[in-house]
Structure 1
Amino acid sequence: MRWIYWFGWTLFGSAYRSLFGLKVIGREHLVREGSVLIASNHESFLDPPLIGTLYHDEMFYLARKSLMTTPLLKWIYLAWNSIPVDQDRPDMTSLKTIIKLLSSGRRVLVFPEGERSLDGVIGVAQPGVGLVAVKSNAVIQPIRIEGAREALPRGSGRVRFTQITLHIGPAIRLTEEELAAKGSHGYQRIADRIMETIKAL
């Protein structure tokens, strides 16, 4: 683990445990070896580093380009393994980057909904996560976040020190039929399966 990543990992890990009473349920299901596509619901800006604290080595995240407003912020995000996403002009670049990382044995976090929930209700998954799952054939780690929205709601700059819980489910492995899926409908079915698994945790 590089020092800059270790610094953020230590800082956030300490904050989540001491300020938010972080609780982890199902830690025994955590896949620690090989390429892993981590899929989670999205409640808050707190979510990416929150899930990152579960692992003792580096992982990769998606981050909006609009967050990288200064050279310093851009350097920090990239140093913490963020993959820039242009939400104004979406293309396949970020998905190709994720597939390449997974194919090389790395760990990547995605939020299938594509955006933070406004009301805490888990939304509909986008087909892109199904495409990534098929093309990479990576193990899929489902995680449900609970309490992060209450701690830092979308559209609010006020942090509330409420408990956050992470529910970790057994790994998902695609069937041979699912791995042969093609087109948006096929990818959507896989994305829906992943999202339903997260909801059930």
Structure 2
Amino acid sequence: MEFYYFARAVVKGILRPLYRIEVIGRENFPKSGGVLLCTNHISNLDPPVVGITCKRPVSFMAKEELFRAPILKQILPNVKAFPVKRGMSDRGALRAGLALLKKGEVLGLFPEGTRSKTGKIGKGLAGAGFFALRSEASIIPCAIIGPYKLFGKLKVVYGKPIDFAPLKKEKISVEEATDIIMDEIKKLIEANQD
């Protein structure tokens, strides 16, 4: 954990002035308990930006290939990332994510599964809905509003928790749950664009 906080301080010192990051809605983030943090995905810098703006340490799923890269395979586990096989249902990654939430930690997800080439929000994959319906975690939507332009302005907006209790009773599907999360992220983007 020490390395996590050290890395966060270093990255914060670099990224905050470069992108003039403004954080909105930090008070919406639960102080304790499991949190599923769902964010749109516009850049490779999204995970560190969320990591430095979130009140609590965040564990991200990262594509398995990154854990084979020489330097990254040393760094990623130390900044709480864990591997996921893309393009298939990775049961090991799903179990690891649920275990984190059960332990009261923060699981960060990019429901789209990949970066948006256009900056527009895409369709979410079922994984976000799976975690939302299978855990007791608070579901926090988050919007990163760019573009990432040096010395431009970048916003990170944390929304209010989505109440999934009534939706669980309705026995909605994981796809429907993901759509609800994606709609909340879209609303944050629309409400906070200059």
Question: After TM superposition, is the score higher than 0.5?
Answer: yes
Other-structure match for 2:157: 167
TM-score, length basis structure 2: 0.89
Other-structure match for 1:101: 100
Aligned-partner SS, 2:152: coil
Map 1:36-47; keep pairs closer than 5 Å. 36-47=35-46
Q: Structure 1: where are the runs of 5+ without partners? A: 152-158
Residue identity matched to 1:54 = T
Residue identity matched to 2:114 = E
Distance in 2 between residues matched to 1:51 and 1:31, nearest whole Å? 15
Query: Do the aligned residues in 2 keep the contact of 1:143 with 1:198 (CA within 8 Å)?
Result: yes
Other-structure match for 2:144: 145
Residue 71 of structure 1: how far off its partner (Å): 4.6
What percentage of residue pairs aligned between the two structures are identical? Answer: 32
Indicate the RMSD between aligned Cα atoms, in angstroms: 1.8
Other-structure match for 1:67: 66
Residue 128 of structure 1: how far off its partner (Å): 1.5
Residue 199 of structure 1: how far off its partner (Å): 0.4
Map 1:21-100; keep pairs closer than 5 Å. 21-87=20-86, 90-100=89-99
Q: Is 1:8 matched with 2:7? A: yes
Residue 55 of structure 1: how far off its partner (Å): 3.3
Distance in 1 between residues matched to 2:27 and 2:103, nearest whole Å? 25
Distance in 2 between residues matched to 1:110 and 1:196, nearest whole Å? 15
Aligned-partner SS, 1:194: helix
Distance in 2 between residues matched to 1:13 and 1:179, nearest whole Å? 41
Residue identity matched to 1:22 = I
Other-structure match for 2:130: 131
TM-score, length basis structure 1: 0.86
Distance in 2 between residues matched to 1:23 and 1:177, nearest whole Å? 32
Residue 130 of structure 1: how far off its partner (Å): 0.6
Distance in 1 between residues matched to 2:119 and 2:48, nearest whole Å? 19
Query: Do the aligned residues in 2 keep the contact of 1:59 with 1:109 (CA within 8 Å)?
Result: yes
Residue identity matched to 2:29 = L
1:86-116 CA distances to partner (integer Å, 9 max, x unpaired)?
2255522211110111011111100111110
Residue 196 of structure 1: how far off its partner (Å): 0.2
Counterpart selection for 1:197 from 181, 184, 189: 184
Aligned-partner SS, 2:53: coil
The number of residue pairs the alignment matches comes to 188
Query: Do the aligned residues in 1 keep the contact of 2:18 with 2:150 (CA within 8 Å)?
Result: no
Aligned-partner SS, 1:143: strand
Query: Do the aligned residues in 1 keep the contact of 2:144 with 2:157 (CA within 8 Å)?
Result: yes
Residue identity matched to 1:196 = D
1:25-65 CA distances to partner (integer Å, 9 max, x unpaired)?
22221222111000010011111111111234422011112
Residue 117 of structure 1: how far off its partner (Å): 0.3
Aligned-partner SS, 1:144: strand
Residue identity matched to 1:93 = G
Query: Do the aligned residues in 2 keep the contact of 1:59 with 1:81 (CA within 8 Å)?
Result: yes
Other-structure match for 2:109: 110
